[in-house]
Amino acid sequence: MGESSSVPERDFNVKLLKSINDTISDLLGQAVLEALHQHLKELYDVIPDEIPYRLETLFEVLEYTFGVAATKTIGRAITRNFYAGIGLRFVDIENYGLQNYVEQAKKELSQSKEKSAT
């Protein structure tokens, strides 16, 4: 463990949550981030630490609040921030959302870990 080319799942989700929080706060402000967290907790029973596991719910709320186009922009910004934080190169792929990029990142990191182990 601890190799620079791999990111343990817990660290992966911590970095994902940090990217989500930092990006939303940077783009929309800290008050919006706090309101989003409150909304997710009250209406969906999702606490901030669970957001990486409930991305669909997060994006449902964002789409309802900001619309599809704005949510795609927010998702791309989160992805760029996240990929930079885990050392991957972001490549914009048409019709990909954050959930797709997260799965792609898991695959790339897993493949990188396998290569470094051989």
User: pTM here?
Assistant: 0.86
Domain boundaries, the chain: 9-117
Decide: helix, strand or coil at residue 93.
coil
Q: How far apart are CA 110 and CA 84, in angstroms?
A: 17
> Under CATH, domain 9-117 is a member of which superfamily?
Protein of unknown function DUF3227 (1.10.1200.200)
pLDDT at position 65: 93
Torsion of CA 55, 116, 84, 7, to 10 degrees: 40
Residue 90 main-chain phi, psi, to 5 deg: -80, 130
Q: How far apart are CA 43 and CA 46, in angstroms?
A: 8
For 101-116, what is the mean pLDDT? 84
Whether residue 43 is predicted with pLDDT greater than 50 in this model: the reply is yes
Q: pLDDT category, 31, cuts 50, 70, 90?
A: very high
